[in-house]
Structure 1
Amino acid sequence: MSSPSVELTARFWRSRRSAAIAGIVFALLLMAAISMMRVAFSEESLESLRADEGKRTLIRLSLHLVPFSGIAFLWFIGVVRDQLGEVEDRLFSTVFLGSGLLFLAMLFDAAVTAHSLLGMLAASQTSPDLLESTRLTSQTLMTVYAMRMAAVFTISVSTVGLRTSAVPRWVAFLGYLVALVLLVAAGRQQWTQLLFPLWVLLLSVVILVWRPTESRAA
């Protein structure tokens, strides 16, 4: 019969693996979705997008990836909170959970708006002003609001990581830098959106391969 300490240790490492796998899946899917969307909207003219079936197909593919990336991100949040357990800080835990859920809600809202834009492009009698307004709404939701929540999420995770020694310190400090870039530049330089999933990917790989000491794990 196994002792309680052995069972807790095994559960701890299983939780780390689950968080790492969920984070990797989320990061890869979101990076693919953002990249395809940026390529499809590389031209400012929506009329060129209406005439280019290949770019509209690219947008559809990216939108199909968004729900699965959201499911993986939600699992990542849940497993990380479960791993923190008794040592979690209520303040940063609340900010961590709230910013993560708000990011997810805005990501889905931006995807739904982009899907509506595709439907309008397929229609022959759609006002150009309505098309432009829908495009700007989707873009603003993602670049301004969702990325700011991603920055807050990154700050809270980095802070909790420093306090619990759950990850190396350089990963947490890099998270602060990523958050600063997202807060300042994500609205103007849209490719900087990739920094968030890239950091989650790095964090997940580190969680998967890095082993904190037994005292830290306890």
Structure 2
Amino acid sequence: MLQTPKAAAVAGIVAALLLGAAVLLVHLAVPEHPQDTADWVEDTSQRDFLHGALALLPFAGIFFLWFMGAIRDYVGEAEDRFFATLFLGSGFLFVAMLFVLAATTGSLLAVTDVSASPSAGERALWQYGRHLVLELLTGYATRMAAVFVVSTTTIGHRLGIFPRWLAWLGYLVALVLLFAVGGTSHLELVFPLWMLAVSSHVLVVTLRRRRAGGRPDRGAAATP
């Protein structure tokens, strides 16, 4: 059976890779400018990208929940109630928005796959869906991800689970997700990159302690 820190690391790495791939596919498929809608409707390759994102998003959400549960179990009773509430609330809302994003993406595909030459009404519906997908991704899901990063980083830093460099990285990523996302493309990818950094650190520390013959204690101090 996987020990909790190792399980959290594995789940976090898988979730980061799936989420990063899904976000990248959404950006490749959905045009950022409304005037590009006509080209998108007639481009089969871009719809294929969206099909790929739709297939990845549910699994990204499932592994993200596993990542949350494993980290919370690792922290144990030492967690701060205030930041633990932010951790759970923002994490659940982030996953809920991922699933709404996936459902909206599926609806867009259903509309655009109806006919090769869409009508004006179908184009208008696609414009609405395009705006909804981008707004969910860059306007709301990323803000919940920022709160999740802040709460996780604060808990990890206070308990000594995260080294100083990882704590500073977490707060920087949170600032980017709160204020910079939306104006520049692909900045949402800093969230899965942060998850990958956290998970890799936990995995390295866990394997290092196992090789040393010790067991990873919950809340044990991390080496900066």
The question of a shared fold, defined as TM-score above 0.5 by the shorter chain, is answered with yes
Task: Tell me the residue number matched to 1:203.
Answer: 198
Matched, 1:148 2:137: no
Task: Tell me the residue number matched to 2:213.
Answer: none
Deviations 1:34-56 (A, max 9, x none): 11121122563222112111111
Q: Percent identity?
A: 46
- Unpaired runs of 5+ residues, structure 1, are 1-10
CA distance in 1, matches of 2:187, 2:131: 18
Q: Residues 70, 216 of structure 1: CA spacing in aligned structure 2 closer, same or farther, 3 A cutoff?
A: closer
Task: Tell me the residue number matched to 1:160.
Answer: 155
Task: Tell me the residue number matched to 2:16.
Answer: 27
Query: Higher helix share goes to which structure?
Result: 1
Contact 1:143–1:190 under 8 Å retained in 2: no
Deviations 1:110-161 (A, max 9, x none): 1211211111112334432221111101110111100000000000000001
Contact 2:74–2:218 under 8 Å retained in 1: no
Q: CA RMSD in A?
A: 2.0
Q: Residues 101, 216 of structure 1: CA spacing in aligned structure 2 closer, same or farther, 3 A cutoff?
A: closer
Contact 2:76–2:218 under 8 Å retained in 1: no
CA distance in 1, matches of 2:182, 2:60: 22
Give the 3-state SS of the residue equivalent to 1:165 in structure 2.
Answer: coil
CA distance in 2, matches of 1:128, 1:100: 34
Give the 3-state SS of the residue equivalent to 1:75 in structure 2.
Answer: helix
Task: Tell me the residue number matched to 1:93.
Answer: 84
Instruction: Return the TM-score normalized by structure 1.
Output: 0.89
| Alignment coverage as a number of residue pairs | 207
CA distance in 2, matches of 1:188, 1:68: 28
- Unpaired runs of 5+ residues, structure 2, are 210-215
Runs (4 or more) in structure 1 with deviation over 4 Å come to: 211-216
